[in-house]
Structures are given as structure tokens and as C-alpha cells.
A and B are shown apart, each in its own frame.
Chain A
Amino acid sequence: MSENKDILLSIRNLKTHFHVRKRVIRAVDGVSLDVRAGKTLGLVGESGCGKSITAHTILRLLPKTARIKDGEIIFHSRKRQPVDLLKLQPSGKEMRGIRGNDISMIFQDPMSSLNPVYRIGDQIVESILEHENTTRAEAMERALEMLKRLSIPSAEKRIREYPHQFSGGMKQRVMIAMGLICNPELLIADEPTTALDVTIQAQILELMQELQRQLGFTIILITHNMGIVADVADDVAVMYMGKIMEFGSKEDVFLRPSHPYTRALLKSVPVLGNSGRDLLEPIRGSTPDPSDLPEGCSFAPRCDFAKPECGQAIPYVDVGNGHLVRCVLAEGREVRDGQ
């Protein structure tokens, strides 16, 4: 993780813990990531691994039980000085100015992410009116343009309609329009296609890529679907129990997976047309109790290659070209967190 001008967001040693009835749940436990400007980072991992909490920590929208224990999130915006998002007040003016304006987010469930009592046009302009000094009519015009960009048919008519008049895929397009209307530099997409059927998924992902080419924003794509990551991501971070297990370019991670967890994940993805002999290999065991994680590598109890050394703190190892692996098996140059 070298210093680079192309880095938009660099997360270092991020720790977000939850305090629930005296137990401490280490949801995010030492995450370090670099998000390259204009690229798509796929953040993959199974349910509960901390990917959504990472995203919410970036936006500083955490529930009251969460504590950010350590780390920094430096946002290298083109519009402002580099700023550590963790140093800002979560509901302060500065953070609210960044939310929606510079960093935006879209959600998994398009059914409930639009307010049922407002017309979609009114909802889209809300964000503009919050961040910019402009008239409602101008904002509406921009909303209309954005809906057209998202290829919503007869946008002039639909901008006046209510969310219940839209299908799931159309609602997700509206949601994306809301996310992009203020021209953010970073769009966090939290499982944006999980609630949609496969053909619509492909359409939405294509649309997001097309818009990314046009507008040049950066995407953090949170998903548990390896197929989607293989399709659209430039870089991939594999997360497990609050830690990044492997991080690198898509090619490195998919073609040369170096962490046993990544390999296991890839083996457990169904492939269309698989013969009966190539059975899927589930990962044995189940995820450990997040309030009682083992020392060292948290995947060790389920790993086929576990060694006694796995019980100690594991450093990142650069196996080449910024392809980082947190595993004792990996050989290469050792990299400390925070570098």
C-alpha cells in the first residue's frame, strides 16, 4: 500500500466495535484498504463479516452501540483538502456536507429505500437542495436529466409518480439517480442488486459501469456474490470476521488466490453447466462467535492448512504488485498495517 496520487480513500487499521451488554463485538477489526479513484473496489465476504459496518463507518452513520476504536479514513477529495473522516463530528456540518455530496450510498432493498409519500422527483431534488444553492425548478431539471441517463422510459411523466408505481429494477435506478445527483466522488453500493432478479441485476450493473465511465466516480461495491465482483470490480478485498484477508487487483485475487479463505470461497461458487462430479465444496464449520474471536487468524479453526503459527498476529504479506495477503502461508515482502 504505497502512497499514490490516485488513491481516493485510504482506510488504515480501522476498528469499529459494538458494545452489547458487556460483550464486545469486533465487527471491523483492523481494516486497511486503498480505494483507487475512478475504479471499482469489490468488498466481498459472507454475511456478518463487517462489510456493511465498514461502509457505514466511512459515512459515520453507526448505531449508538458502535465505537470506533482506532484507525483513520483519509478522504482525498478533488474538491477539498484531504480529511480524516474519523476526526469529524458524525452529525456535524462538515460530515453532513460530505454525505450525499461527496460520498453517497445506495442500498440493497429498493422497495423500502424510497419514501412512499413523496414523488420520486421530489425525493431526488431533496439531496440537491440540501447541498447546493439552487432553485427547485433547476434541481427538477437536473433530476429529469439524471433519470434519462438511467434510461427510465418517459422520464417526464415518471418523475411525477410515486414509488409504488415503480418496479423493483426501476426503483433501484431511481435510487442510483438519488445517489449520483450531486455528482459524488465516491458511491458506496451496498449489495445493490441482491434484491433484484438476474436479468435486472445485469442491467443495473451495466448501467452503473456506464455512468462510472461518463461521470468518473469511484465505486465501493459491497457484495457476497463473487460473480458480480468478477464482472465489474477492478480491485477486490476479501473480508472475513472484521479483517481483510486478501486484497489486490481482480486478476490477482481471482487467478492467483493466495489465502485459503479466498480459495475456499471461489470453490463454493456454483458454476452454470457444472457436471455432477464437480461438487461444490462448502467451507467446513461455521463462523466463530464475533464476541469471542480466536487470537491471530480468525479463519484458522476452519482452515485446512492451519498451523500453530496461525494463533499469533498475522502481518500482511505483499506477494507481488500490491497483492496483499494476511496468512502465514503467503511468502513475500512483509507489510505492516498503516504503511
Chain B
Amino acid sequence: MEAKAQKIVKSSRMRNVASKLVSNKAALLGLAIIVIIILLCALAPLMTPYNPTKPDFSAQVQPPGGAHPFGTDKLGRDILARVLYGGRVSILIGLSGAVGGMLLGVIIGSLCGYFRGWLDAVFVKVAELVSIFPQILLVLVLVTILQQSMYNLIMIFIATGWVATFRMVRGRFFSLREESFVEACRVFGLGDLSIAFRHILPNCLGPVIVQLTLNTAGFILQEAALSFIGLGVPSGTPTWGNIMNAAKEIVSINQYPWVWLAPGLAIALFVLGVNFFGDGLRDALDPKQI
């Protein structure tokens, strides 16, 4: 009897989620892509002998092959080194912006959706304000006040990225809080915070995770766009977006495709991995999917 009960406890929900993830090929592939790219970027100094920012005028725009497997750009900088070092910044911005925004949106959305009242009224107005306010203006203001930096960019992404998650979570809470299982929780004496975060919130996580993967991809691309107009990460620091900016000129589009193809593929691959993994995670968290 004792052993049986132990067994029941042991096969917890997290283990179940993990086993479902492992059996999902696409999710595993996604996870593998994410892990490999992150590892490569983290271990960049071991992967390439080149300095990503140091120009080498003896080796300008060389096609891939030989000493430079991905070729070099117009200043003779090794593309592989730039993509690897740039990935550190891009991934950090994309992931931390998306995760931060998700956490903020989930917490505020849960509290507003559960308690409603003045708290909800205030944050709905704030969310409206944020979503109608042009992001570019916000970036301009912040850059002017604080100066250009990676951390400011992350802050801006968090400050603007929580709104979609907030709305989704709040909306789900509005319908879920009327379900009788919530009333049952109250009848069994559970407290408000426990009901909101432990019982209602897990029912909203599917769309939240999809939003997280979309935001990760979106922020990496937005960083590229902001860097393009000189408002993102300072141009001295390589990021996937910054490297692609080399493709501003018609010449490089026509004649040196490797200059923008490598960072472009890196973005596409990473975003793909995040999407695969996010999809798998969403299915694994849904008990109705076997």
C-alpha cells in the first residue's frame, strides 16, 4: 500500500510533460536546434579564431570556403565569427524580452482577471495606452534619455511585449473564473492566490506559450529592424540584425549573398527551433493530448 502511494506521487505532472515532450519528434528537433545554436554562440571563441569586430583589409568580401567557411564581409571580418558572436546578443534580446514580457503579462493578467475591480480598470487602460503608442517613439525617447544599449532594448521589448499576453490571460481568466471547479476550490477552503495561480493559470498556458515563441522570433527581427535605423544595439556590437544590415546595398544582394544569407539562416533556424519546441510544449501541457 505504502509503495503504491509512493508510486502515485512519483509520477508527477512534470514527468508526464517531459515524457510527452520526448515522444514528440518535432519538439525534440526544436530543442536540439535551440541548444546547439546557443552552445555554438556561447562557445564562440572556441569555434572560430577570428575577432568579429576587427577589420582585415587583406581579405575583403571573400566567398565561403577555405580559411573563412562563411566568407567575409566588406571590411574583411569573418562572417562565421560575426554570426556566432552576434547570436549571443540576438538570442539574449529575443528570449529575455519574450520571457520577461510573458512573466509580466501573465502576472498582471492573472491578478486583473481574477480580482477585476479597479486594478483591472487601471491595467486595461495602461495596456491600451501601450498598444496604441508607436513603439518606435518609445524607443526614440528611451534612447535619447538613456542612450543606446542592449539592456534598454530588452526593457522596451518587455514594456511593450506584455500587452498581448496580458489580454489573453485576462480574457481566459474571465471565462474560467465562472467555471464550477473554481467555485469548488473556494468551497474546499483554498485561498485566492492559490486558486488564481495554481488552478486557473495552468488552464491558460497553451496560448501563452504560443505567444512566447512568436515574441521570441518577433523580437529578434525587431532588433534587426531597429538596428537597421540605428536605434537598436550600437553598430559596433555584432547582432544577427546588425550583420544583415550589410545587405542594405544592392551590390551585396546581387553579388555577395553570403554576407546576409548566413545571419538570415541563423535567424530562420533559431526561430524555427523555438516554434517547434513551443508547439510541443503546448501539446505536452494539455492533458487532453496524448
Mark A residues whose CB is within 8 Å of B: 59, 61, 91, 96-101, 104-105, 107-109, 112-119, 121-122, 126-127, 130-131, 136-138, 140-141, 144, 156, 159-160, 162, 164, 175, 178-179, 182
Contact = CB atoms under 8 A, between A and B. Distances in A.
Contacts of B287: 116-117, 119, 162, 164
Interface string B150-179: 000000000000000000000000000001
B181 A91 contact: no
A138 B5 contact: yes
Contacts of A96: 189-191
A126 B190 contact: yes
Name which of B1, B8, B187 has the most chain A CB atoms within 10 A of its CB.
B187
Nearest to A91: B192
Contacts of A105: 184, 187
Interface of B is mostly: helix
Contacts of A182: 188
Given A99-B189, A162-B287, A113 B5 contact: no
Contact of B187 (A99, A131, A141, A162): A99
A97 B8 contact: no
B4 interface: yes
A136 B187 CA distance: 21
8 tightest A-B contacts by CB? A100-B188, A100-B189, A99-B189, A113-B180, A127-B188, A162-B287, A141-B5, A105-B187
Contacts of A141: 1-2, 4-5
Given A59-B186, A115-B185, A141-B5, 18 more contacts: A61-B183, A91-B192, A100-B189, A100-B190, A116-B287, A116-B288, A117-B286, A121-B8, A130-B190, A131-B189, A136-B9, A137-B9, A140-B5, A141-B1, A144-B5, A159-B8, A164-B287, A178-B188
A114 B187 contact: no
Interface string B188-221: 1111100000010011000000000000000000
B58 interface: no
Interface in B1-51: 1-2, 4-6, 8-9, 11, 13
A104 B188 CA distance: 7
A182 B180 CA distance: 20
Given A104-B188, A164-B287, A117 B202 contact: yes
A117 B1 CA distance: 26
Contacts of A113: 179-181, 183-184
B5 A115 contact: no
A180 to B, nearest CB: 11
B181 A112 contact: yes
Contacts of A136: 9
10 contacts: A59-B187, A99-B187, A100-B187, A117-B203, A118-B202, A136-B9, A137-B9, A141-B1, A178-B184, A182-B188
A97 B189 contact: yes
A179 B202 CA distance: 23
Contact of B203 (A91, A104, A115): A115
Given A100-B189, A117-B202, A112 B179 contact: yes
B4 A99 contact: no
Q: Quick one: which of A91, A99, A138, A164 has the most chain B CB within 10 A?
A: A99
Contacts of A178: 184, 188
A110 to B, nearest CB: 9
Nearest to B199: A115
Nearest to A103: B187
Q: Which of B5, B185, B203, B286 has the most CB of A within 10 A?
A: B5
A61 B9 CA distance: 32
Given A117-B202, A141-B5, A61 B187 contact: yes
A114 B188 CA distance: 12
A144 B8 contact: yes
Contacts of B8: 121, 140, 144, 156, 159-160
A112 B288 CA distance: 15
Nearest to B178: A112
Contacts of A121: 8
A313 B11 CA distance: 62
A55 B87 CA distance: 60
